[in-house]
Structure 1
Amino acid sequence: MRKSMCKYQACLLVGALLFLVSLSYGQDGMHKPSKKTQKGFDAAVEAYMANDAGLALELVSEAIERDPLYFDAWMLHAQLTERIGDFGTSAQSMSNAMELKPAAREKWGVKWCGLLHRSGQYIKALEIWDSLSDDVIDASRTDHQLLEASLLFSVQTIAEPEDVVASPLKGDVNTNSAEYYPAIFVSSDRMIFTRQVGADGRFQGQEDFYEAREVNGLWQDMGPIRGVNTRGNEGAPAVRGDGRRLIFTACETLKDGYGPRQGKGSCDLFETRWNPSTQRYEEEVNLSALNTRYWESQPSLSADGSQIFFVRAQRNEAGEMEQDIWFSTRLNSGEWDKPQRLTDTINTPGREENPVLHPDGNTLYFASDGHPGLGGLDLFVARKSEAGEWMAPVNLGCPINTNGDENSLQVFPNGRRALFASDRNQPGNLDLWEFELPEKMQAEEVFQWSGHAFNVVSGLPVQAEVVVLNSAGVPLFQMVSDPKDGMFSLPIVKDEVLTLQVSHPNYAFYNRSWVPRKSEADRSNVVVEIPMTPLEVGTVLLLRDVHFETNSAMLDEVFQPELKQLLTTLLGANIRIQIVGHTDDQGTEGFNIELSKNRATSVSTYLHSNGIEWDRMEILGKGSLEPLVPNDSEANRALNRRTEIIVID
């Protein structure tokens, strides 16, 4: 899973043919190598054509050692070292070739600048780029546009680096095996990560999932997770915020295929649920609605489990490999909708990898080599506009990004702390590292809010729909409580007016509006009990947040979450109700009786205008005759101003 599908190099034959084009330029009679050198060089070309790049590199290096003025040999050396990812050597080899034949810049100048950029020699690359003629640089080509933008960005960002200090993750998670692809729970103190078992860190071993927990600032390895790991490879985990849904990637092998699993393509996405009774993950299922005959991997699940982002690699009509970020939304049935490719604001003709949707639901981190960057895969952040569209991504800059490949980024729910995988301490052995994101790259802070929905009569768990809405009534997060224990956990944005709604067709709904504070975030391990009253004759639904104009029966033109929830209940249940209005003791009793009745009438009018028949509703106004608490304070008077819905049939 660590290797991207699109990192597979182009076939050697195509590379050799490209190189032979350069030979036709080099053979101009200006320099004649010795017969022995020429013979060795010809043997290097034959090895290259025969798909033996290692031998080709060895032979061309010997040719250069015998004749350092051999242009064609330097050009082949540059191409071969580029293929193995040694961009510094490749750039130097091409620089040597260009020094031997300055006129070759007209043909190879853009390629030269690209290699210098990939090796981190940004200033030199930009100087050479500025020296190239307009005949060399084609301003209409997107690859030329990208390289120029990347050179300008790179020179600027290395002059103004971000103040970032990374350090290995504290605790015992990092080992002599490779650890990578962390997936963090919204509680911030748990994660699932991938470990390469029985290998030396260079991808020969088996990939399994492990769990870790943070205790007193140290991450403790809790061992392999139960129910998912097999003798095959499991990689790229993504968890719902509470960890009760896990989506991961499994790939087929030449020897065993998918093993006990059923797959559609070379790599597929699978989903499994946590069983609180057995304390293990259940048997996974293939997400056939998302998978194709191609390659799907690197999933990221929204904190409420309602959206998934993933990477798909497939060939287009021209036979070219495309690697883009796709997304899908979970339907009410629990199935996934037909996936859609993210717009070209995010996706490019290059590679996009490792999408990570932050628990705030509005911040997307990902890796790409198709946006201006420092070379290879850089990390980017994109945010949603108020209209819900993804805006132009921003490069995370230096030193987070380098001229190498960066990915496997995960950002904690606080929006500041981040994890990534790196082998900078021990080349070839990935470990998890952490750092603080620069402020402009941070996501919005969220914390976990957990609840327990249960039948108030029997005490049994209730599988209820749970929704968090903002002050405008737009759903932010939603999920269904677990039928096995009634539990749910949602990400909550602090310091914003929110409404929590819990509903089930056979129960009176639960509604709460509040502004979460930091103190409540610090108590995120507390579970709020949500008693659900069966919807039957005599059941009373207490509406505290129906908003009227002051001293009036006119409904305020603001979002009315309780009225919408009441409407949904009535549309789904064949019941008759009595709507009872109540006031505080301010004003005369006659005025309050009339006001409470008129307010109950306004509620019935709202319901009728949205499809509820008149004969399903009765109206009653009781003024201040039945207070819930003494009217001796403004807070108590607010409690007494209410609307009650009583099931009468």
Structure 2
Amino acid sequence: MNRVCLLILFAFINLPLFAQKTFWASKVVAFSSEYADKETTKENRAIQVLGKPNKLPQVGYSVCAWQPMTQNNSINEEFIIVSFDTLMPVRQIAIAENFGQGAITHVDVFDENNNIHPIWINNTPPTNELGKMLNLILNQMTTFKVRSVRVSLNTSKVKGWNQIDAIAISQSDQPIKAFINLANNMPSQIVKENLGKNVNSEFRELAPVIAPDGKTLYYTRWKHPANVGYAKKQDIWFSELQADKTWGPAKPFPEPINNSEHNAICAIYPDGKTLLLNNVYMPNGEMSKGISISQKTASGWGFPEQVAIADFKNKSEYAEYSIAPNGRILLISAQLEDTEGGKDLYVSFLQDNKSWSRPVNLGKSVNTAEDEGMPFIAADSKTLYFSTKGFPGYGNNDLFVTRRLDDSWTKWSEPQNLGPMINTSEWDGYFTISAVGDYGYFSSQEKSLGEEDIFKLKIPEAIKPEVVVQVSGGVYNSADKKPVGAKVKVQSTMDGDTVCVTFDPATGDYKFMLPTKKKYTISASQKGYLSSSEVLDFENEKDFHEVKKNLFLFPIAAGQKITLNSVFFEQSKYELLPASFQELNHIVATMRENPKMEIMLEGHTDNQGDWNENLKLSKQRVTEVKGYLIKNGIEEKRIQIQGYGSTRPIASNNSEEKRKLNRRVEVTIVKI
């Protein structure tokens, strides 16, 4: 009996903690002054008081808090009035004083008719606390609905600057607290492993970038004796993973990637053949602000070429970049005109002319008045890691994770702190994860061999990106099985997202990192050949793995036949699905390149259902394909069609997997 009563009492006591609803200020109504100077934009403006705390529970100076224009002002009272997204009676007002606390003299509220009601007068002298959450809990709920809150300060009460991080209201008598938004279910212990003397030295090892396949680690070394130039500025080095899972001896990149100026790698494309490099490389050996790309060739890495980004005018001395696996989306940390303050995170999209679009701000859910930097977009193209001190954390810059919510690239989940097992009281940044998703790599001074070293840690499930699959292989002539340089394209059948790479036999396999839970079509193309696409089905894949997929091209010649594996129809219907267009566009392009080519389209079905209906359906489907080709500029007289129904199977019809092979459209070159 006593045990039951105790449980009920325990639940009753804790209920308000769960029932409490906190409303943070959503609009600035009025203010006496706000700090401003020619070097800042939105830092310390009145709008910084809106939303959840950006500094507390840690205390100290922050540009993400409202700061009056003057300090130690005994003549003029400073004040700010804020409103909320709700109109309600309140039991509590909370004010996050992150810096110079104790200057608040009184707090008033306005009701729905804008009548003012005194709530609290401060008759106590300031304490020695630098900052705190001031919780004003009333004896009972107000008898009126609160529209807005006014906080007044006498800045002469506390020397130096006075800042307010946030203001909240609640109907609960449980004190409102600021908290760090931690990733859920993080382990209590995480082992950080120094990569050892093959990678690290007594000098500075910074900014690691792990290749998507996890087998090559790139990073920056500073002041190392083997660096290029007299001043031994930053150079790019790399280490390769050995068969025993240890890292091999560090090797410097050769010229022209390394020169006498500062050199750093921002990212490497999934194919391992394209480097995104910090700075613009000038022919005379000098560098300017921006980024460059270097392509791997049979003889080594080519001279870096400038990447053109529209209207990219970075006010900061620094910038960082990360490239999405499809090679068409660039994440940027820079200080542009529309910054929320300091450096913000932006997205830029590759255009048809190979230039990049004007950067678009990722929005207030990610960016703050502090610097947001070191972005790293994971192989799933959804999970973004970055560094900032603009959200509650453990010291200086902390590492955070956020996830993309739609295809605009401007809507993101609320950033989550990676926790005290990863973040420290010092500056934390440059976090990178391989596509395998097993380990993260970062720079740290803790337990280093000298200055900063490269460390790794096993990625907890809570902050892992979504699973991807690595697809790699070569392209070959179907006749003689010799490799053929070609363009390789992968397209999602779900959303049409397309990734293209170039296969060069001299530089090795093509390579893609593809998110799971989707189906794709993959094909190769080269002038003088017909291509046949294949379907990649990763809808049910749950773990990272590598898929070897060699592709074959068919020499254009009379009598050549291919199956259009990626031409899809509605079940038992003849309407083409949009996922078919990529493969049919290959046929269109080939026939345009060969204006005398004539083809035969042949339709086939399995043996399920009525024989005559299958024959009719096969004819309807090739008629639909013919119509698509004509619509895209191919003369009707160049296209013959024939439907065979179920009369020409290429596999038994004993199972659904084999019946799929029989449901097909084939193309035969009749004349060339």
1:543 aligns with 2:561: no
2-structure distance, mates of 1:152, 1:403: 21
1:259-338 aligned at under 5 Å gives the runs 260-261=284-285, 263-264=287-288, 267-275=289-297, 277-278=298-299, 280-289=300-309, 292=313, 294=315, 295=317, 297-313=319-335, 322-338=342-358
| Contact kept? 1:446, 1:491, Cα under 8 Å | yes
TM-score (norm 1): 0.69
1:352 pairs with 364, 368, 372, which one?
372
Q: 1:486 to 1:603 in 2, by over 3 A?
A: farther
> Could you tell me which residue of structure 2 aligns to residue 466 of structure 1?
489
Taking a change above 3 Å as real, the CA distance of residues 377 and 152 of structure 1, as seen in their structure-2 partners, is: farther
Aligned to 1:166: 191
Alignment correspondent of 2:99: 111
Which AA in structure 1 matches 2:561?
V
Give 1:240 deviation, angstroms.
0.7
Cα 1:222–1:137 change in 2 (3 A) is farther
Determine if the alignment matches structure 1 residue 188 to structure 2 residue 209. no
| Superposition pairs of residues 467-506 of structure 1, within 5 angstroms | 467-469=490-492, 471-475=493-497, 477-482=499-504, 484=506, 487-494=509-516, 496-504=518-526, 506=528
Q: 2:347 is matched by which residue type in structure 1?
A: F
2:125 is aligned to none
Structure 2 residue aligned with 1:362, among 379, 382, 406? 382
On the 8 A contact 1:446/1:492 being kept in 2, the answer is yes
Distance 1:349 1:644 in 2: 59
Shift of 1:397: 4.2
Where do 5+ consecutive residues of structure 2 fail to align? 1-37, 40-57, 63-71, 79-95, 103-127, 138-149, 156-160, 170-175
Q: 1:391 aligns with which of 412, 427, 449?
A: 412
Give the conservation status (yes or no) of the 8 Å contact 2:326–2:498: no
The number of equivalent residue pairs is 526
CA drift of 1:416 comes to 4.7
Deviation string for 1:482-533 (max 9, x for gaps)? 47557310002345433323334643233222324769954x2x64321112
> Partners in 1 of 2:392 and 2:154 — Cα distance?
17
1:211 aligns with 2:233: no
Asked if 1:235 is matched to 2:264, the reply is yes
CA contact (8 A) 2:436 2:544 kept: no
Query: Offset at 1:429?
Result: 0.9
How many Å separate the matches in 2 of 1:519 and 1:488? 23
CA distance in 2, matches of 1:90, 1:142: 9
TM-score normalized by structure 2?
0.67
Post-superposition offset of 1:453: 2.0
- C-alpha separation in 2, matches of 1:158 and 1:542: 48
Relative to its length, the structure with more helix (as a share) is 1
Task: Report the aligned-residue RMSD.
Answer: 4.5
Residue 581 of structure 1: SS of its match in structure 2? strand
Q: CA deviation at 1:169?
A: 3.4
2:561 is aligned with 1:569: no
Tell me the residue number matched to 2:391.
371
TM superposition shift of 1:430 = 0.7
1:4-43 correspondence runs (5 A):
none
Counting aligned pairs with the same residue, the percent is 21
Deviation at 1:640, TM superposition (A): 2.4
Judging changes above 3 Å, is the alpha-carbon distance between structure 1 residues 259 and 343 closer, same or farther for their aligned structure 2 residues? same
Question: Which among 205, 209, 225 is matched to residue 179 of structure 1?
Answer: 205
**Structure 1: which 5+ residue stretches go unaligned?**
1-12, 15-86, 92-100, 115-122, 253-257
Distance 1:467 1:251, change over 3 A: closer
SS in 2 for 1:464: strand
Q: Is the 8 A contact 1:113 1:129 kept in 2?
A: no
Distance 1:187 1:413 in 2: 6
Question: For 1:626, what is the secondary structure of its paired residue?
Answer: coil
Asked whether the equivalents of residues 461 and 485 of structure 1 are also in contact (C-alpha less than 8 Å), the reply is no
Taking the aligned partners of 1:218 and 1:327, their CA distance within structure 2 comes to 35
Q: CA offset at residue 417 of structure 1?
A: 2.5
Equivalence for 2:625: 603
Contact 1:268/1:286 (<8 A) preserved: yes
Structure with bigger strand share is 2
> CA, structure 1 residues 268+128, in 2 after alignment: closer, same or farther (shift >3 Å)?
same
Name 2:461's counterpart in structure 1.
Answer: 439
